[in-house]
Amino acid sequence: MRIFLFSQKITIENANYINLFIDELFNYKVELFVLESLYKYANTKIFFPKNINVINKISKKNKIDFLICFGGDGTMLKAVHLIGKLNIPITGINTGRLGFLANIPKKNIKDLIIALYKKKFHISARTLIQISTSPKLKKGLLNFALNEVSISEKNHLSMISINTYVNNEFLNTYWGDGLIVSTPTGSTAHSLSCGGPIVMPDSNNFIITPISSHNLNVRPLVLSDNNVIKIDLDQRFKSFNLSVDGQTQTITNKNVVFIKQASFKINFLITEKNNYFDTLRNKLLWGLDKRNNEQRL
């Protein structure tokens, strides 16, 4: 079994759980891989085994079986963009905050390793958004998104209008602070905070969600991800923020943005103890009644 270990920020707590994970791996035949940047950065806090494989980047020749993240959802998004088209199953141990993507509790580290070894898991293939612009932007912008693509006015000071088309047919002019196009995986991220619906990960949809819509009768729209979405920007403003999974680049009113389904998917590793419904209930506090904890007089 070949496991790639990934994390971004190494806090004392984070390092403790990574060390626990590494200790548990000694009971199994595992080859451990880590990025050279993390190895150098965390070498004094994490007790890496002597036979660890230190690499510059993940490639097909490494034959990685699983990628395990330690951190929050931001760490998971970073890891997703590291593996790209390699089809490596990925999961995350939540040492961050909310943890919709990195949804395995720290207490379940040992259970996760056993599940990997005994192959007691299933794969949830997550659709991605592919982003392009005309004219093309300089290199640096991520060209696919697991969660969402959002557009807003650069200085966040003015209401903007965004003309939106589906398969070249006019859909709507959105007036407000901006617009989000998300995947089902991203439906519990920025889109949810703007009033968007929660959509099951295997639903094969896009969700178009306005940000602070000026028209109160305009609501989020769910449509098939077989469609191509085109976005024309407000000509009154020169600069806009185009954010792809939280990575932002400046675009101008001359850029037209195209959004469609990517040609590949990201494989999420789901264990029996950490399914999607468990995550929704735990993270959104569904069914929690504050009165149950109040002392009755």
Per-residue pLDDT tens over the stretch 12-43:
888 999 999 999 998 888 999 999 999 998 98
**137: phi then psi, degrees, rounded to nearest 5:** -85, 165
Same domain? 90 vs 194: no
**72: phi then psi, degrees, rounded to nearest 5:** -110, -160
Domain count, the chain: 2
Query: Is residue 114 assigned to a domain?
Result: yes
Same domain? 74 vs 63: yes
**21: phi then psi, degrees, rounded to nearest 5:** -60, -45
Same domain? 123 vs 13: yes
Same domain? 84 vs 189: no
Same domain? 172 vs 119: no
Same domain? 10 vs 68: yes
* CATH classification at residue 105: 3.40.50.10330
Distance CA 92, CA 152 (A): 30
**290: phi then psi, degrees, rounded to nearest 5:** -55, -30
Q: Where are the beta strands (DSSP E) in 178-236?
A: 178-182, 205-211, 221-224, 229-233
Per-residue pLDDT tens over the stretch 202-239:
999 999 999 999 988 999 999 999 999 999 999 999 99
3-state helix, strand, coil in the chain (%, to 5): 25, 35, 40
Vertex 4, ends 84 and 61: CA angle to 5°?
A: 65
Residue segments in the chain with a per-residue pLDDT below the cut of 50: 295-297
Distances (CA, A) of 217 to 165, 175, 220: 19, 11, 10
What pLDDT is recorded for position 253?
93
| Maximum Cα–Cα distance across the chain | 68
Q: Distance from first CA to last CA of the chain, Å, rounded?
A: 57
**60: phi then psi, degrees, rounded to nearest 5:** -65, -35
Query: Is residue 119 assigned to a domain?
Result: yes
Query: Is residue 198 assigned to a domain?
Result: yes
- Closest to 85 (Cα-Cα) out of 264, 297, 258: 264
Same domain? 170 vs 89: no
Domain of 161 in residue numbering reads as 129-261
Helices (H), 84-207: 109-118, 190-193
Q: Which residues are catalytic?
A: 73
Query: Is residue 297 assigned to a domain?
Result: no
Same domain? 250 vs 279: no
Same domain? 115 vs 165: no
Same domain? 91 vs 118: yes
Same domain? 228 vs 253: yes
Give the distance, in angstroms, between the CA of residue 38 and the centroid of all CA atoms in the same chain: 20
Same domain? 134 vs 96: no
Beta strands 178-182; 148-153: pairing state? antiparallel
Question: Is this prediction's pTM over 0.85?
Answer: yes
* CATH classification at residue 211: 2.60.200.30
Query: Is residue 44 assigned to a domain?
Result: yes
Distance CA 211, CA 175 (A): 9
Query: Which residue matches tokens 């965390």?
Result: 42
Query: Is residue 79 assigned to a domain?
Result: yes
Residue 89: asked if its preceding bond is cis (omega within 30°), the reply is no
List, as one string, the DSSP characters of 269-297. Answer: EEETTS-HHHHHHHHHTTT--GGGGSPP-
CB atoms within 10 A of CB 54: 15
